[in-house]
């Protein structure tokens, strides 16, 4: 950075950035501005709620996190819902990755039929709203093929995200220079071996950032299955509210839980990315 006083080629100090920029970029000022903005938003919501005479009951929220009853410690609805959401998301993500890889490979296969099928699938999925897709799976395909609401929601999420994941995988695979394919071919590797040992290990580093985004996206969109009452975080939130009428407190808490989970995920993966970057 120039404000560290590193000198230019002829030993002349580089010009410093303008005073106002240094002022706004300094740490204490940044923190102060941040606190003021967040504080105003929080105060605004609080004042608004007061204005409509909302009765805050934060003290009743912890019982939905955990309880100490006569039979001992037990988890509340919110952590149980969170575990259900994570299970749902992980299953859907694994299935979506499998489907996505299949679609990506079809598209890369070079077969006319293969890419036609893949492109048809992508366009179909990408142009149907997620909610409509869920209704299709639950109300139409569910009765036809006889699967329950939980399966319907996993299939919906998996199919919806497989379209996006297949594009991420395809871009990652295409980012590898053709020379790598030719080198692998010229030592006699089969297409499978080439993907397994040469192409995919190198693509991971291109795929990791967008795939993390996709997992975060999937966890968030999993909330939509609450409309068909699949037991997960958002559904539990709705249930608690219909019992207690504490909609502000519970929705704030639910939002915070999603935020914490997805932030942990993003931070974890950015560490992984650094590790891969060093390895190369």
Partner 1 sequence: MNQPAPMIEVTNLDKFYGAFHALKNIDLTVHQGQKVVICGPSGSGKSTLIRCFNGLEWHNSGRLVIDGIEVYEGAKEIRDLRQEVGMVFQQFNLFPHLTVLENLTIGPMKVRKISKAQAEETARNYLDRVHIPEQADKYPAQLSGGQQQRVAIARSLCMETRIMLFDEPTSALDPEMINEVLDVMVELADTGMTMVVVTHEMGFARKVADTMVFMEAGQIVEISPPEQFFTNPSSERCRLFLNQILEH
Interaction site with partner 1 (CB under 8 A) = 177, 179-180, 182-190, 193, 197-198, 201-202, 279-280
Query: Minimum distance from CB of 179 to partner 1 (Å)?
Result: 4
Which CB, 148 or 182, lies closer to partner 1? Answer: 182
Query: Minimum distance from CB of 280 to partner 1 (Å)?
Result: 7
Round to whole Å and give the CA distance between 261 and 8. 46
Which CB, 194 or 226, lies closer to partner 1? Answer: 194
Query: Minimum distance from CB of 110 to partner 1 (Å)?
Result: 12
DSSP secondary structure letter of residue 103: H
CA angle, 159 as apex, 155 and 160 as ends, to 5°?
Answer: 115
Which CB, 159 or 207, lies closer to partner 1? Answer: 207
Round to whole Å and give the CA distance between 105 and 99. 10
Which CB, 129 or 201, lies closer to partner 1? Answer: 201
Which CB, 160 or 195, lies closer to partner 1? Answer: 195
Round to whole Å and give the CA distance between 234 and 236. 5
- What is the full DSSP assignment across 158-206? HHHHHHHHHHHHHHHHHTS-HHHHHHHHHTT--HHHIIIIIIHHHHHHH
Query: SS3 string of 105-157?
Result: HHHHCCCHHHHHHHHHHHHHHHCCCHHHHHHHHHHHHHHHHCCCHHHHHHHHH
Query: Minimum distance from CB of 165 to partner 1 (Å)?
Result: 22
Query: Minimum distance from CB of 181 to partner 1 (Å)?
Result: 9
- Assigned token pair, 108: 């890369």
Which CB, 79 or 209, lies closer to partner 1? Answer: 209
Q: Which helix (H) or strand (E) holds 207?
A: helix 200-221
Q: Which helix (H) or strand (E) holds 69?
A: strand 66-69
Query: Minimum distance from CB of 172 to partner 1 (Å)?
Result: 13
């Amino acid at each position: 950075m120039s404000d560290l006083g590193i000198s230019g080629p002829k030993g002349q100090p580089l010009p410093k950035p303008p005073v106002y920029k240094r002022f706004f970029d300094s740490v204490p000022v940044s923190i102060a501005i941040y606190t003021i903005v967040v504080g105003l938003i929080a105060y605004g919501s609080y004042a608004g709620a007061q204005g409509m005479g909302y009765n805050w009951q934060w003290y009743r929220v912890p019982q939905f996190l955990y309880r100490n009853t006569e039979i001992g410690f037990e988890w509340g609805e919110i952590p149980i819902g969170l575990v259900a959401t994570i299970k749902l998301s992980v299953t859907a993500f694994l299935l979506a990755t499998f489907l996505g890889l299949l679609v990506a490979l079809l598209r890369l296969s070079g077969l006319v039929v293969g890419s036609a099928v893949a492109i048809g699938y992508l366009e179909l999925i990408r142009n149907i709203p997620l909610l409509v897709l869920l209704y299709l799976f639950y109300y139409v395909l569910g009765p036809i093929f006889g699967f329950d609401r939980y399966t319907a929601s996993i299939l919906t999420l998996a199919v919806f995200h497989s379209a996006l994941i297949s594009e991420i995988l395809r871009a990652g695979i295409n980012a590898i220079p053709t020379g790598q394919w030719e080198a692998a071919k010229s030592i006699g590797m089969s297409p499978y071996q080439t993907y397994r040992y040469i192409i995919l290990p190198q693509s991971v580093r291109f795929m990791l950032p967008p795939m993390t985004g996709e997992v975060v996206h999937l966890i968030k969109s999993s909330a939509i299955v609450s409309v068909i009452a699949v037991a997960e975080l958002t559904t539990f939130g709705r249930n608690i509210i219909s019992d207690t009428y504490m909609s502000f407190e519970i929705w704030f808490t639910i939002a915070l839980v999603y935020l914490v989970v997805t932030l942990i995920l993003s931070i974890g993966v950015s560490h992984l990315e650094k590790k891969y970057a060093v390895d190369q």
